[in-house]
Amino acid sequence: MRNKFSEELVKIANKNKSVHIVVADISPAGSMEKFQKKFKNRFINVGVSEQAMIGIAAGLSLQKKIVFAYTIANFSLYRPFEMIRNDLCYQKLPVTIVGMGSGTIYANLGGTHLTQEDVSVARSIPNMQILIPCDPDELSECIKYCAKNKKGPIYLKIGKSGEKNFTRNSEKWAFGKIRKIKSGYKTAIISCGPIIRYAFGAINNSSKDSVSIYSAHTLKPFDYNGLKKIFNKYKTIIVLEDHSYIGGLGSIIKESAYELKFKGKIHHLALKDDFLKEYSSQENLLKKHGITEKKIRKLIYK
């Protein structure tokens, strides 16, 4: 996803001279190299200074520039939290904060590098919008929106590398709308972010016609109308997210179920409220939190 991000941003920056990116110690040899080489004056590497990254992004935005602030998710959202709240959200500046390698992706780096509560934190700040694309193609759509956005800040939660595309033949992406990725008649899996691959992995020949998969890529503002339609159509809903069970997609859906008088069952696969340690792989860490394809498969047949 980080390569897709950089490719897409170069395209946009080619057309629009106002596009700037502020990064905190991202290796120029990595995915951002092309942008840096092409638009030297619009690439600002502040080094290991995340508070300054957000403050500078705010200053550029106050001068009407289109600004992206980009680094690994924990550094982009947690370290400069007050700058995000005061400089961006309070002043309602349309800066996109990109959290790369979000959720449990950096499992082998340990808990300091995970963002298992980022959505919960970002969601509660007024004026913040949140986008969580599930694959590189969806990310392209999100970036286009971010570059045009004038409403206020966006937290763009993305993956890292090697993500497959799932949405090529799906309905069109639209900001703020839950998107059906795959149709089925019985059970709906609602997810966001690259963990959607678990939903696809869980489907086999016998369940492929019965399961729908939705990408709730816009967490804020949330598509309550779209959710209502899903509630009316399915009796079983499985929510799948790479985030704490507190304050993320599952929270939104369960809160809405009460409001919208949903009578069916909701199964919620999310991270436990705990700093579990598993350094071998993201898959093994998610397993410790109880998230596996096998478990989703079982829930489909319940």
Partner 1 sequence: MISKLKKAKKRCINYRKRLLEISQKVQALHVGGSFSSVEAMDVVYNVLKKKNDKVILSKGHCGIIQYIILEDHKIISKKLLNSYCQPNGKLGVHPEVFTRGIEASTGSLGHGLAIAAGMAIANRKNKIFVVLSDGELMEGSVWETVLIISSLNLNNIIIVIDNNDLQSATRATNTHPSLYPIKEKFINFGWDSEYCDGHNSFDIYKKISKKKKNKPFALISKTIKGYPISFMKDVPMWHYRSPNKTEYKQSLKELEKYEK
Q: CB 293 → partner 1: shortest distance, Å?
A: 43
Q: CB 197 → partner 1: shortest distance, Å?
A: 37
3-class SS of residue 242: strand
Closer residue to partner 1, CB minimum distance, 92 or 268: 92
Closer residue to partner 1, CB minimum distance, 59 or 264: 59
Among 56, 84, 107, 128, binds partner 1 (CB under 8 A): 56
3-class SS of residue 197: helix
Return the range that interacts with partner 1 (CB under 8 A); candidates 55-63, 210-218, 248-256, 277-285.
55-63
Q: What span, in angstroms and rounded, lies between the C-alpha atoms of 174 and 235? A: 26
- 44 sits near partner 1 (criterion: CB under 8 A): yes
- 206 sits near partner 1 (criterion: CB under 8 A): no
- 23 sits near partner 1 (criterion: CB under 8 A): no
- 65 sits near partner 1 (criterion: CB under 8 A): yes
Closer residue to partner 1, CB minimum distance, 86 or 149: 86
Return the range that interacts with partner 1 (CB under 8 A); candidates 60-68, 153-161, 189-197, 210-218.
60-68
260 secondary structure, DSSP code: T
Q: What span, in angstroms and rounded, lies between the C-alpha atoms of 209 and 205? A: 8
Provide the H-helix boundaries in 21-123: 33-38, 50-62, 73, 81-83, 118-123
- 87 sits near partner 1 (criterion: CB under 8 A): yes
- 49 sits near partner 1 (criterion: CB under 8 A): yes
Residues 6+ apart with CB under 8 A from 200: 166, 182, 213
Edge-to-edge strand order for the sheet containing 95-100?
43-45, 19-23, 66-72, 95-100, 154-157, 129-131, 218-220
Residue 51 has a CB neighbour count (10 Å cut-off) of 16
Half-sphere exposure at residue 220, Cβ-oriented, CA atoms within 13 angstroms: 24
Among 8, 19, 55, 128, binds partner 1 (CB under 8 A): 55
Q: CB 30 → partner 1: shortest distance, Å?
A: 21
Half-sphere exposure at residue 76, Cβ-oriented, CA atoms within 13 angstroms: 31
Residues 6+ apart with CB under 8 A from 168: 137
- 66 sits near partner 1 (criterion: CB under 8 A): no
Q: Which of 195, 238, 236 is nearest to 217 (CA)?
A: 195
Return the range that interacts with partner 1 (CB under 8 A); candidates 51-59, 169-177, 184-192, 244-252.
51-59
C-alpha dihedral sign at 291, 278, 163, 9: positive
Q: CB 50 → partner 1: shortest distance, Å?
A: 8
Among 17, 82, 148, 255, binds partner 1 (CB under 8 A): 82
Closer residue to partner 1, CB minimum distance, 86 or 161: 86
Residues of this chain that interact with partner 1 (CB under 8 A) are 20, 22, 44, 46-47, 49, 51-52, 54-65, 82-83, 86-87, 90-91
